[in-house]
Amino acid sequence: MSDIKDATTADTAPTPDDALRMADAAEKKGPVLAADGRPLKQSLNRALRLQKLRALALVAPLLIFVLVTFIAPIADMLFRSVENEIVSETLPKTTAALEDWDAEGDTIPDEAVFEALYDDMFFAQEAKLHSRLGSRLNYEQTGVSSLFRKTGRSVEDMGEVFQDQFEDLDDFWKTGENWTSFMASDEWLADIQAWDADSGDRQPRFELRDGIDDILPATAESYTRFANYVRTEDEDNVYTEDPWAVIYSSFYDDLTRADAAAIAAYSGPAAEQIKSAATAATGFETIDYSEAFLDIDEDWHSIDVWRTIKIYSPKFTNGYFLNAIDMQKSIDGPELRPENERIYGILFWRTMVMSITITLSCILLGYPVAWILANLPARNANLLLILVLLPFWTSLLVRTSAWKVMLQQQGVINDTLVWLGLVATDDRLVLINNQTGTIIAMTHILLPFMILPMYSVMQTIQPTYLRAAKSLGATNWTAFWRVYFPQSIPGIGAGSILVFILAIGYYITPEIVGGTSGTFISNRIAYHISSSLNWGLGAALGAILLAAVLLLYYAYDKIVGIDNVKLG
Amino acid sequence: MKLTNTLLASTALTFAAGMASAEAHMADEMTIVSWGGAYSNSQQKAYSEPYAEKTGVNIINDESSAEAVAKLRAMNEAGNISWDVVDVTAADSFRLCDEGLAMEIDFDEQLKAGDDGSTPTDDFGDTLINDCFIPQIVFSTTFGYRTDLVGDTPPTSVCDIFDTEAYPGKRSLEKRPIGNMEWALLCDGVAKDEIYDVLETEEGQEQALAKLDTIKDSVVWWSAGADTPQLLADGEVVMGSTYNGRLFSVIEEQDQDVAMLWDGQMFDLDGWIIPAGLSDERKARALDYVKFATDTQRLADQAAYISYGPARASSAPLVGQHAELGIEMAPHMPTDPANATNVFVFNYEFWADYRDDIDAKFQAWLVQ
């Protein structure tokens, strides 16, 4: 009971929670009952519930705002670091066909894979998705970007050999109306003819005729993809749209591969045309897809390209994270990148070391200022405080550019040193475009974030403690070090956390004054987000940075204790 | 008589309604995105102000071209495109066109014919590099040097950049491989027409980086076009690369002791794209603006404000004097025959493929 205080013994004002705690403690000795016979704890909880709900309702707007505008976008961005659906979505058939291919062997995939690739590429280039996938895979394998772009341009002509032969055979195969007459269900045909394009109603969703996918499975699949694309992307009428070349090649495959009995037994619409096409198709000129792709670009017979596609087939990948720690995926599992491409390890380490340096220099410079501020009469302190806050009212870019003018070799500081004769004119100090520049400029920019929490903590330290220490015989130093300093630590802690966390995420200042040796990991993140567009890698780097901060925060909590942090 | 009147009146009404709906087809507000600075200024003077005067449209200027691709991609994902016309470099237009983020243009249908009667396709000629990009200017990345800091023999060749003995002091180079790798190989003895073949190979990339390594300690790396002019003006560097228009402004407008080194300049294009997925009204407005802004006279007008060459052949004879300085602009154009004796043309295909790979190596080389 000794740690429980009621209103009479507590050193703070009583709160409703005190009653709860009292009840909680009392329960150990058997439940205390309220007037209505219920346990006291329960009825207190009920009374408080409304209050808690009201409190929650009050913070709800901010909570929702933070969730929607802050947490959700960050979560979405971080999700991109593992998301890799683009490969299997753009090349669904190819990735499925590749599952049986042995990537560790030294033969390229067989004809079936190339045929699947033709189908996928055809639809991808119609939707203009192939080059997007090309740039995605180009992050892993140089040259894929142009390979996909080039292939997209030529793939349309590749299957025309079948289209021409079917159309030469019978004019029936030329028009969309004839195709839909046997591919689509009767309800859909009725719907689409009743549909008025100008009415603003949505075009009815394409429906396959029952059983047609048993007889012509590949055609049914291609036709459905085609119909969905025409309906949603082109917004043309599926009923009258003439089919694409890829449908003819699927049709040819079905006619030559499906079992002849099924086609012979078919009796739906256009049965006659299909049967005569099936007979004729056996004599058609055909193409070798593997060779056709080789004709477009010899890289299609390069095993590295196929390995890359296979490695990145799954919907999720750890590839971005591996890239972010200077590794790469290979057929034998993760491996280190070649030495001349390793960069992120160095940058992460540098970001940490420099942020700590900046935090320490902020403590060194900020502590005396905060001390003076806290010990001056209020009027003078306010004036000084305005000077501390002044940089906040100036644009970050202006301040950084001002440092450029100050620090450069023909700048103010060097000119002054030369004028004083401290530095020879041909041996001016290099203060910018290196780590020194970043540390100086960022210490200046982040200093207020250190001074303010220190100041508010120091203000609460009673000057009488110091006087008491001295009157008991302590020297100035002992009084400061043993009495004053320990009380100011919460301010240092709060300032350090603020400065450190701000510092590791900075990128504008290092970009301008950091040259090559003073840039941070954030500069690479910014590069990948806005320039190389490798958002997955940017997200992975960001996720690692976030994890590092959380880890340090946790360590800080364990070592110093987060309760020791005071912002005021 | 009454019938005729009714007929006349209804015809007039129909006609008026038709006119009104043709007008209503175009949005009365548009957002134009460009690079800011003197360049945006020249576009506003030459295109936007006359256009706004002619049509009464309200033009909002945005200066986000540096992040155009990233932002357009984000807008596309969010399904809310707030830009109507965007000024991008040729390389960015490739990526936008590839990803389907930019609208395809039928040049002969949707642009004006040249003043000399040539079709747009002929008039723009080689500057039409993909289906989405409407070329506007030819600019170049080239070198400027401080006339007072280079001694009695000013540099005449791009390879003088690598000669730290003859030209001691710092030089500024762009913090990216494009351009620098080509110059390094050229100055390491690789024949100009073999440079990209060499750069495709690991050894070639290493060779270029090794050459750059010889001056690594003397290089200040820039990432914004305004950096080199400032560094030159301050005397921080003796020579440095940047866009030729920026150097023109340092030399002619600000009268600094800086001169152009046209040798080895890297030609690049800049132009408009229209984002894909605009509503019909906004699309019609954007196309109307672009049609106006890329006609022969307008492209020539822009050259009165900034020293970038018009992308149309038919505009070249119309290039006149600078609007304020009154000097002839033709000799300051990167395309002027006297300046264009030794040029590179930005190889978009090559860099689309090798950018990620070479950039990784370049950045690793930088931090080591």
CB contact under 8 A, A131 and B236: no
Residue pairs spanning A and B at CB distance below 8 A: 82
- The verdict on B313 and B232 lying in the same domain is no
Candidates A86, A137, A139, A142, partner chain B, best to mutate (most B CBs within 10 A): A142
Chain B CB contacts of A347 below 8 Å = 367
Dihedrals φ, ψ of A56, to 5°? -65, -40
Chain A CB contacts of B69 below 8 Å = 533
Dmax over CA atoms of chain A, in Å, equals: 115
A327-350 per-position pLDDT tens digit: 999 888 899 998 888 999 999 999
The alpha carbon dihedral of A465, A470, A471, A473 has a sign of: positive
Please return the burial class of B245, using the count of CB atoms within 10 Å of its CB with bins 0-12, 13-18 and 19+.
Answer: buried
pLDDT given at position A123: 93
- The verdict on B197 and B241 lying in the same domain is yes
Q: How many domains does chain B have?
A: 2
Question: Which residue of chain A comes nearest to B348, CA vs CA?
Answer: A146
- The verdict on B209 and B340 lying in the same domain is yes
Fold of the CATH domain A344-564: MetI-like fold (1.10.3720)
A169-207 per-position pLDDT tens digit: 988 998 888 998 889 988 888 888 888 877 778 888 888
Chain B CB contacts of A524 below 8 Å = 363
B353 → closest Cβ in A142, A343, A533: A142
- The verdict on B248 and B170 lying in the same domain is yes
Average pLDDT over residues A146-167: 89
Instruction: With CA atoms as reference, report the closest residue to A311 among A140, A488, A430.
Output: A140
- The verdict on B96 and B127 lying in the same domain is yes
pLDDT given at position A45: 86
Is residue B212 included in any domain, yes or no? yes
A149 → closest Cβ in B98, B234, B361: B98
Q: Would you say residue B7 has pLDDT above 70?
A: no
- The verdict on B228 and B342 lying in the same domain is yes
Residue ranges of chain B whose CB lies within 8 Å of a chain A CB: 66-67, 69-70, 73, 95, 98-100, 170, 175, 206, 220-221, 223, 234-236, 349, 352-357, 359-361, 363-368
DSSP A309-349: HHHT-SSB-SHHHHHHTTEEEETTEEEEPPGGG--HHHHHH
A209-250 per-position pLDDT tens digit: 888 888 888 899 999 999 988 888 888 888 888 899 999 999
CB contact under 8 A, A128 and B100: yes
Q: How confident is the model at residue A264 (pLDDT cuts 50, 70, 90)?
A: confident
pTM confidence score? 0.85
Average pLDDT over residues A424-443: 91
* Full domain range(s) for residue B168: 144-267+330-366
Q: How far apart are CA B78 and CA B57, in angstroms?
A: 27
- The verdict on B180 and B134 lying in the same domain is no
Strand B343-345, strand B258-273: pairing:
parallel
A529 CB within 8 Å of a chain B CB? yes
CB contact under 8 A, B361 and A340: yes
pLDDT given at position B179: 93
B234 to each of A201, A414, A440, B50, how far by Cα in Å?
66, 13, 21, 37
Sorted by where each begins, the domain ranges of chain A are 2-80, 167-281, 344-564
Is residue B338 included in any domain, yes or no? yes
Percent of chain B scored above 70 by pLDDT? 93
B367 → closest Cβ in A138, A146, A516: A516
Q: Would you say residue A143 has pLDDT above 80?
A: yes
pLDDT given at position A359: 97
- The verdict on B337 and B221 lying in the same domain is yes
CB contact under 8 A, B353 and A146: yes
- The verdict on B125 and B194 lying in the same domain is no
Is residue B156 included in any domain, yes or no? yes
Question: Which residue of chain A comes nearest to B365, CA vs CA?
Answer: A340
Q: Is the ipTM of this complex over 0.90?
A: no
Least confident of A130-139, A554-563, B90-99: A554-563
Going by the DSSP 8-state scheme, the letter that residue B113 receives in this structure is P
**What are the residue ranges of helices labelled H in A201-343?**
212-215, 217-229, 245-257, 260-265, 271-281, 289-296, 303-311, 319-324
Chain A CB contacts of B349 below 8 Å = 146
Q: How far apart are CA B38 and CA B42, in angstroms?
A: 6
CB contact under 8 A, A139 and B365: no
CB contact under 8 A, A533 and B73: yes
Query: Which long-range contacts (C-beta less than 8 Å, at least 24 apart) are formed by A104-113?
Result: A104/A331, A104/A332, A106/A303, A107/A303, A108/A290, A108/A301, A108/A302, A108/A303, A108/A306, A109/A306, A110/A290, A111/A288, A111/A289, A111/A290
- Which residue type sits at A6? D
Is residue B250 included in any domain, yes or no? yes
Q: Would you say residue B15 has pLDDT above 70?
A: no
CB contact under 8 A, B360 and A149: no
Average pLDDT over residues B167-171: 93
Chain B CB contacts of A350 below 8 Å = 367
Candidates B216, B223, B353, partner chain A, best to mutate (most A CBs within 10 A): B353
Chain A CB contacts of B100 below 8 Å = 127-129, 132
- The verdict on B176 and B308 lying in the same domain is no
Percent of chain A scored above 70 by pLDDT? 94
Q: Between these two residues, B20 and B237, which has the higher pLDDT value?
A: B237
Q: How far apart are CA B289 and CA B274, in angstroms?
A: 10
Is residue B15 included in any domain, yes or no? no
Chain A CB contacts of B132 below 8 Å = none
Going by the DSSP 8-state scheme, the letter that residue A91 receives in this structure is S
A514 CB within 8 Å of a chain B CB? no
CB contact under 8 A, A346 and B367: yes
Smallest CA–CA distance, residue A349 to chain B, in Å, is 12
Q: In angstroms, how far is the first alpha carbon of chain B from the final one?
A: 93
CB contact under 8 A, B352 and A534: no
Q: How confident is the model at residue B272 (pLDDT cuts 50, 70, 90)?
A: very high
Smallest CA–CA distance, residue A140 to chain B, in Å, is 9
pLDDT given at position B34: 95
- The verdict on B262 and B285 lying in the same domain is no
Dihedrals φ, ψ of B356, to 5°? -60, -45
pLDDT given at position A30: 67
CATH number at residue B231: 3.40.190.10
B236 → closest Cβ in A142, A350, A408: A408
Chain A CB contacts of B352 below 8 Å = 135, 138, 145-146, 149
- The verdict on B129 and B151 lying in the same domain is no
pLDDT given at position A258: 66
Is residue B19 included in any domain, yes or no? no
CB contact under 8 A, B220 and A433: yes
Chain B CB contacts of A342 below 8 Å = 364
pLDDT given at position A567: 60
A32-68 per-position pLDDT tens digit: 777 777 888 888 888 889 889 999 999 999 999 999 9
The alpha carbon dihedral of A443, A444, A448, A449 has a sign of: negative
Chain B CB contacts of A429 below 8 Å = none
> Across chain B, what does the average pLDDT equal?
89
Q: Would you say residue A272 has pLDDT above 60?
A: yes
Q: What is the tally of helices (H) and strands (E) in chain B?
A: 15, 10
Is residue B183 included in any domain, yes or no? yes
Q: How far apart are CA B316 and CA B115, in angstroms?
A: 11
Smallest CA–CA distance, residue A212 to chain B, in Å, is 34
pLDDT given at position A103: 87
Cβ pair A492, A512 in contact under 8 A: no
Smallest CA–CA distance, residue B113 to chain A, in Å, is 28
CB contact under 8 A, B364 and A410: no
Chain A, 318-347: which have a CB under 8 Å from a chain B CB?
A: 340-343, 346-347
Question: Which residue of chain A comes nearest to B357, CA vs CA?
Answer: A142
Chain A CB contacts of B73 below 8 Å = 533
Q: How far apart are CA A211 and CA B106, in angstroms?
A: 43
Q: What is the 3-state secondary structure (H, E, C) of A398-421?
A: HHHHHHHHHHCCCCHHHHHHHHHC
Average pLDDT over residues B153-175: 94
A139 → closest Cβ in B99, B236, B356: B356
pLDDT given at position A435: 92
Is residue B255 included in any domain, yes or no? yes
pLDDT given at position B108: 94
Estimate to the nearest angstrom the gap between the alpha carbon of A65 and the chain centroid: 20
CB contact under 8 A, B99 and A347: no
